[in-house]
Amino acid sequence: MFGIALSAFMLVFGIFLKLTKNPGFARSKRFSWLFIILGIVTLVGKIIILNQKGEL
């Protein structure tokens, strides 16, 4: 369950980086797509693995 929470956090953080107007995050905005894609892939992967194990 920790992996699902962590991947969901990465997805939310990537969306936050994409939408924020804060100048403090200006240098990190280019990593927003990386966090979004990584969060989606790991979230889907964890759900599939848990479903196959029968733990979901």
Per-residue pLDDT tens over the stretch 1-56: 888 999 999 999 999 999 998 888 888 888 899 999 999 999 999 999 999 998 87
pLDDT at 37: 95
pTM (predicted TM-score): 0.83
pLDDT at 28: 84
pLDDT at 24: 87
pLDDT at 30: 85
pLDDT at 27: 85
Distance between CA atoms of 20 and 17, rounded to whole angstroms? 5
Domain that holds residue 17: 1-53
Say how many domains are in the chain: 1
For 1-56, where are the E strands, in sequence order?
none
Distance between CA atoms of 12 and 34, rounded to whole angstroms? 12
